[in-house]
Amino acid sequence: MRISICDDDENELMDVTLRTEKYFNNTKISVQIVKFQKAVSLLSYEESHGASDIYVLDVIMPELDGIALGRILHEKNPDAFILYLTSSREFAIEAFTVKAFSYLLKPVSEPDLFHELDQLLEKVNQPKPQIQIRSKNGIQFVMLSDVTAVEYFNHHLVYYTTGGAVEGFQQREAFDVSVSEFLKSGCFLKVSASHIINAGHIKSVDGDNFIMDDGSVYKITRRFSDAKKKYLDFIIGGE
């Protein structure tokens, strides 16, 4: 496991790094901790070393701030966990739109940091749920997090995944029944009578449209206008 820490303030960077090292010294988890004072240095490092598992990022930094950095990191590795450090609560909502795991207000106390790392490791170690898709090519098992949307079309379910679209067998049951496991996960939003989308893959909201990270657009129909509120609950809840 690798943890990347980025803060333009040298003293705060060293403080958080030492406390993170102290935390993991009390566990049996083997970690590599790398630190950076510039966002561009972190990105340059990852070009040759690959993505980290966990990022601890300052929000306010010159050249490229932590929010913009987080978006870039999530585009490269959607499964990465980001913990933000900020001196103001005004960045909290914006931090969660990057799908951050959590955020801490500076100055960061050791108990608060250790608590967040406890919670984060629980999340990291959770088994990732899979979904079974019955298609013409047989039964496929797909990570739930890799499903971006499900569409009911011509009595078939079409599963849109990060690896492409998969068409399921003809459905005899209602759409809501067919996608009940997706909706129970808390990660999917129903935006129309025939579409559900994965909130974790929403890149932005434009009026009544959800823009997904693959560029696809899903319109929120009037009947499901509460989808925006549910999305806000999702990002604030840190699912």
Q: Which residues of the chain have pLDDT under 70?
A: 89-97, 236-239
The count of other CB atoms within 10 Å of the CB of residue 198 is 23
Are both 116 and 140 inside the same structural domain?
no
Among 103, 125, 147, which residue terminates a domain? 125
Are both 35 and 70 inside the same structural domain?
yes
Are both 6 and 103 inside the same structural domain?
yes
Are both 149 and 54 inside the same structural domain?
no
Task: Assign residue 38 the CATH number of its domain.
Answer: 3.40.50.2300
Burial class (CB in 10 A: 0-12, 13-18, 19+), 182: buried
Predicted local distance difference test score (pLDDT) of residue 92: 59
Predicted local distance difference test score (pLDDT) of residue 16: 96
pLDDT tens sequence across 150-189: 999 988 899 999 889 998 877 788 899 989 989 988 899 9
Q: CA 162, 167, 171: angle at the middle one, nearest 5?
A: 130
pLDDT tens sequence across 86-109: 877 666 556 666 777 888 888 889
Per DSSP, what are the bridge partners of residue 160? 149, 165
Are both 110 and 159 inside the same structural domain?
no
- In this structure, what are the phi and psi dihedrals at residue 133, rounded to the nearest 5 degrees? -115, 125
Are both 116 and 158 inside the same structural domain?
no
Range of the domain at 149: 130-237
Residue type, 158: V
Are both 7 and 111 inside the same structural domain?
yes
> How many domains does the chain fold into?
2
Are both 135 and 212 inside the same structural domain?
yes
Are both 206 and 142 inside the same structural domain?
yes
